[in-house]
């Protein structure tokens, strides 16, 4: 899990058994967290970052992290802000207070999705069974975050380490995503 130092927001859900645990790859459910969708105009970016406690990345597909905070670039005026589960109200109120008077939209989406932590030397191979993105480190360096498609489900992928990815999907898609990941990894168990 050392890869995960990129963010202390995403942690394995202690109560859950791993969905998959093979020498090549493991799949763990992440613990619940605060997720906020923040939309605003360019002028408000610095203030919002200040209020949140992590800068809002302006580089496409970029992520900025600080202690207990991660701000993920989702689009040119869209960020997903991550924080520990119990800090929802504080973070929400803090940003709203700071951005008062500046056009913006802050929406709680904490429960909308669930996250998996896919890690191991075969992690990118496993993702590539359903995702058409080049996960080589040159093309998809650590820290890259993007939405994409996994088979027939929309997902979000955040590379938090060379061999570690956070895979998020809307809750009702998670059985599908996790199910196919586990099924596709089955052949890795063959010597």
Partner 1 sequence: MSQPFRTEKGGRIDRGEQLTFTFDGEEMQGHKGDTLASALLANGVHLVGRSFKYHRPRGIVTAGSEEPNALVGVYRKGDQTPNLRATQVEVYQGLEAISQNRFPSLGFDVGAVNDLLSPLFPAGFYYKTFMWPKAFWDRVYEPVIRAAAGLGKPPKNPDHDTYGNIYAHCDVLVAGSGPAGLAAAVAAAETGAKVILCDEQAEFGGSLLSDENATIDGKTPIEWVQETIAKLASMDNVTLLSRTTAFGYFAHNYIALAERVTEHLSDPDPKLPRERLWQVRAKEVVIASGAIERPIVFPENDRPGILLADAGRTYLNRYGVKVGNKVLVATACDTAWQAAFDLADHGVDVVAIADLRETPPENLVAIAQARGIRVEAGCVVTGTLGRKRVKAALLGRLMTSGQVASAGQVACDAILMSGGWTPTVSLYSQSRGKVVWDEAVGAYVPGKSVQNERSAGAAKGLYGLQATLEDGYAAGEAAANAAIGKEAKVTYAAASGGEAGQGAVLGALPHDRNASRVKAFVDYQNDVTAKDIKLAAREGMQSIEHIKRYTTTGMATDQGRLSNMNALSIASGALEKPIVDVGLTTFRLPYTPTTFGLFAGVARGDHFDPVRKTPSHDWVVANGGVYEDVGQWKRTWYFPKSGEDMHAAVARECATVRKSVGLFDASTLGKIEVVGPDAAEFLERMYTNPWKKLAPGRCRYGLLLNDAGFIVDDGVIGRLADDRFHVTTTTGGAPSVFATMEDYLQTEWPDLDVWITSTTEQYAVAAVQGPKAREVIAPFIEGIDLSAEAFPHMSVKEGTFCGVPCRLFRISFTGELGFEINVPRRHGKMMWETLAGEIEKHNGTAYGTETMHVLRAEKGYIIVGQDTDGTVTPQDAGMTWAIGKKKHDFVGKRGLERPDLVAENRKQFVGLLTKDPKVKLEEGAQITVAQNPATGTPAEGHVTSSYYSPAMGRTIALAIVKNGHALHGKSLYVPMPDGGIEVEVTSPIFFDKEGARLNV
Partner 2 sequence: MLLVYCPYCQVERPETEFSCRGQAHIARPSDPAEVTDEGWVEYLYMRDNTKGVYAERWRHIHGCGRFFNAVRHTVSDDFLKFYKAGEPMPDLDELAKEAGK
The residues that touch partner 1, with contacts defined as CB under 8 A, are 32, 37, 39, 41, 77-78, 103-113, 125, 128-134, 136, 139, 151-153, 170-173, 175-176, 179-180, 183-184, 186-187, 189-190
Partner whose footprint covers residue 3, from partner 2, partner 1, none (CB < 5 to 8 Å by kind):
none
153 closest CA partner among 186, 109, 116: 116
| Distance separating alpha carbons of residues 104 and 90, to the nearest angstrom | 18
Q: Which of 58, 149, 171, 189 binds partner 2 (CB under 8 A)?
A: 149
CB 147 → partner 2: shortest distance, Å? Answer: 5
The reply to whether 13 sits near partner 2 by the rule CB under 8 A is no
CB 105 → partner 2: shortest distance, Å? Answer: 13
Sheet holding 145-150, edge to edge: 20-21, 26-29, 113-119, 164-170, 153-161, 145-150
**C-alpha neighbours within 13 Å on the C-beta side of residue 174:** 19
| Distance separating alpha carbons of residues 125 and 110, to the nearest angstrom | 29
Q: Which residues bind partner 2 (CB under 8 A)?
A: 60-61, 74-76, 78, 132-133, 146-149, 154
């Amino acid at each position: 899990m050392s890869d995960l130092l990129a963010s202390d927001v995403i942690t394995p859900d202690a109560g859950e058994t791993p969905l998959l645990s093979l020498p090549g790859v493991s799949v763990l459910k992440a613990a619940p967290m605060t997720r906020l969708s923040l939309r605003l105009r360019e002028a408000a970016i610095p203030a919002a970052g200040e209020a949140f406690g992590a800068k809002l990345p302006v580089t496409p597909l970029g992520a900025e992290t600080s202690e207990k905070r991660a701000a993920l670039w989702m689009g040119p005026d869209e960020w997903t802000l991550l924080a520990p589960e119990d800090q929802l109200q504080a973070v929400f109120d803090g940003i709203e207070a700071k951005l008062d008077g500046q056009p913006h939209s802050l929406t709680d989406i904490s429960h909308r999705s669930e996250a998996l932590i896919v890690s191991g030397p075969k992690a990118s191979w496993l993702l590539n069974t359903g995702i058409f993105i080049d996960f080589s480190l040159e093309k998809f360096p650590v820290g890259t975050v993007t939405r994409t498609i996994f088979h027939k489900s929309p997902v979000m992928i955040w590379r938090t380490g060379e061999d570690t990815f956070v895979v998020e999907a809307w809750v009702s898609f998670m059985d599908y995503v996790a199910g196919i990941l586990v099924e596709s990894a089955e052949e890795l168990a063959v010597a």
